[in-house]
Amino acid sequence: MKTLSVLTTALFFALTITARAQAPEAKLKEMGITLAAPSPSLANYVKAVRTGSLVYLSGHVSNRADGTGIKGKVGKDLSVEQGYEAAKLCALGLLSSLKAEVGDLGKVKRVVKVLGMVNSAPEFADHPKVVNGCSDLLVAVFGDRGKHARSAVGVAALPSDYAVEVEMIVEVE
């Protein structure tokens, strides 16, 4: 009886851990999203650095694996909705680099911090609605563990005129 109880408990924990570990990637699949392999860094920096339980991810711009992307200044060349899509692309790039670093997105304990930088016309003022494109995806994939501290600001210009750049800090197992 006692042995059965121990076995049941062990099984319960094994299933819980499995479910937890697979959840984010299963969720991505359910959303019809396939993460591309991260593009190589073209200079003396890398996409991600782990120190202790934290992974620091480089700023990822609103490009796609196929070389296309969303470019231009939000509030001038692009609408808020287009900016939202651009921030979502940043999130997908970040997740791709994070997966390459830790192996399985199920190891994410918490998305700690997001800095969303919007390529912004000087009079634009809806940066939070743009950066929500990144935040919403993170919470859709990780649930409460995806809720992060965040800054959303408008910068003067971004590399190759991409619409959004986002950097992120993640706590992992």
Give CA–CA dist 3/164, Å, rounded: 56
Residue 84 CB, nearest approach to a copy of itself (Å):
11
Could you say which DSSP state residue 166 is in? E
One-letter amino acid at 132 equals: N
- Residue 15 or residue 157: which is nearer to a copy of itself going by CB? 157
- Encode burial over 34-72: b for 16+ CB neighbours within 10 A, e otherwise: ebeebeeeeeeeebbeeeeeebbbbbbbbbeeeeebbbb
Residue 55 CB, nearest approach to a copy of itself (Å):
8
- The sign of the torsion formed by the CA atoms of 30, 132, 58, 143 equals negative
Residue 162 CB, nearest approach to a copy of itself (Å):
9
- Residue 103 or residue 143: which is nearer to a copy of itself going by CB? 143
Give CA–CA dist 46/56, Å, rounded: 10
- Residue 106 or residue 154: which is nearer to a copy of itself going by CB? 154
Q: For residue 95, how many C-alpha atoms fall within 13 Å in the half-sphere facing its CB?
A: 27
Contacting residues toward a copy of itself, per CB under 8 A? 42-49, 51-54, 56-59, 73, 75, 110, 112-115, 117, 120-128, 132, 135-136, 138-139, 146-161, 165, 167, 169, 171
- Residue 3 or residue 160: which is nearer to a copy of itself going by CB? 160
Residue 93 CB, nearest approach to a copy of itself (Å):
13
The answer to whether the CB of 57 falls within 8 A of the CB of 48 is yes
- Residue 65 or residue 139: which is nearer to a copy of itself going by CB? 139
Residue 22 CB, nearest approach to a copy of itself (Å):
22
